[in-house]
Amino acid sequence: MLVHEFGHFAVAKLLGVRVEQFAIGFGTRLFGFRKGDTDYRINALPFGGYVKMAGETPMDERSGDPGEFLSHPRWQRFLIAIAGPVMNILLAIGLLTGVYMVHYEHPAYLDQHAVVGWVEHGSPAEKQGVQPGDRLVQIDGVQNPTWEQVEVKQLLSANQPLGFAVERGGQEIQGSIVPVATGNSEAGSAGWFPVEPVIIGDLESGMPAAQAGLKPGDKIISMGGQTVPSIQAMIERLQQTQGKPVEVLVERGGKQLSFSLAPVLADTPGTAERHYRLGFKNSYETSVAQLSFVDALGRSIQDNKRYSLVLLELLGKLVQRKASLNTVSGPIGIAEQTGAAAEEKGWIPLLALSAAISLNLGIFNLLPIPIMDGGVILLLFIEGLMRRDISIQIKERIYQAAFVFLVLFAALVVYNDIAKTIAQRLP
């Protein structure tokens, strides 16, 4: 938020607009200093911040002073309004570029062609006749998708039909599938999964995997004498065997080791349900590299562009009521994600999350909602077409209605965050 407000501040100062306050937080002023016309201050409520420009809103008293925001030509007001979101987007690109130069890591399967390795029993994919070995050649208009593209499409399409086509034995089979909503976030899942090795990540103390001596990095080769094509296949088989001991063959340091484990019925993170579990977090097989500055910048721009399009698609589905509000995280959800990232080793997870948050803020502020930067830009565009300013009275009503909308929306998002948090902790 600081870099966002600095964007507004810097361009406003550059164009000669009088900035009265540059604030971090809201509410009562705690401390700060004054330099020139500007009061640089820290406020009591540590949420976001703002830049207060003279004559910025229709409700402000106007004297016609050339230093007032509304006294400046529309193109200058446009530059001031768009500077904040642009700074957010540039920060996201810069952070990811730095991360990728140090450690570019991502699950290897995401870049692969979408070849189905496992189909969940009773899932929409099974009901549509999808089989292991099928290759997805089209989904929702995307030709020859990677697994990352497939996952994004199904995640945003809970309870909504998705057109798809698979290739099997040289023949193309078309169909339509309706992903089901899963977990507290109600993300869509079709029930098809890639071939991905199951690798032990974090172990839960007191659970069967830790007690039996499994270690992070162990690669599971088979369970009960059957190969394990994905973590989802393993989870489904555990529900079938329930608490009966199973033989698990793992690879560790080039050697194969066998363990006998008895699954236990336990809470499942992220859901309110209980499942038979061994007690470990799956760790994906990853592709790791250190990119040059040029390659890192290119990859960062490409990833931020893709994330932006996904975010806009999600917003569109929310407006059309084709996606659940549970897919959106507010301040509580963001705080939980930040805490989880901070617990991971090194600064990279936290920097990557910061880049995502900055990008989200930049895109959100560009929405055509009055009071938001996008709303200011929209009104400037309308005034440009009219070749005259919208009356102060009309602007006042627009801003008042927008303020009420944003307060209600913020309250809904916070309530949704609280409800999801409570649901995760219920037995």
Question: What DSSP string runs through 277-345?
Answer: E--EEEE--EEEE---HHHHHHHHHHHHHHHHHHHHHHHHHHHTT-S-GGG---HHHHHHHHHHHHHSS
Collapsed DSSP state (helix, strand, coil) of residue 103: coil
Contacts of residue 141, defined as CB under 8 A and 6 or more positions apart, other chains included, come to: 163
Structural Rg of the chain based on CA atoms: 26
- What Å distances lie between residue 201 and 52, 111, 261, 337, 341, CA to CA? 48, 21, 17, 19, 15
Nearest to 97 by CA among 354, 387, 379, 360: 354
Residues 119-123: contacts with CB within 8 Å, 24+ apart? Answer: 119/191, 119/192, 119/193, 120/191, 120/192, 120/193, 120/232, 120/236, 121/236, 122/191, 123/180, 123/189, 123/190, 123/191, 123/192
Continuous segment of H or E residues that includes residue 8: helix 2-14
Pairs from 238-244 (Cβ < 8 Å, separation ≥ 24): 238/263, 238/275, 238/276, 238/277, 238/278, 239/275, 239/276, 241/276, 242/276, 243/276
Tokens describing residue 161: 């039909």
CA distances from 118 to 131, 159, 197, 380 (A): 8, 21, 12, 53
Positions annotated as catalytic residues are 5
Q: How far apart are CA 231 and CA 268, in angstroms?
A: 14
> Are 218 and 200 a contacting pair, CB within 8 Å?
yes
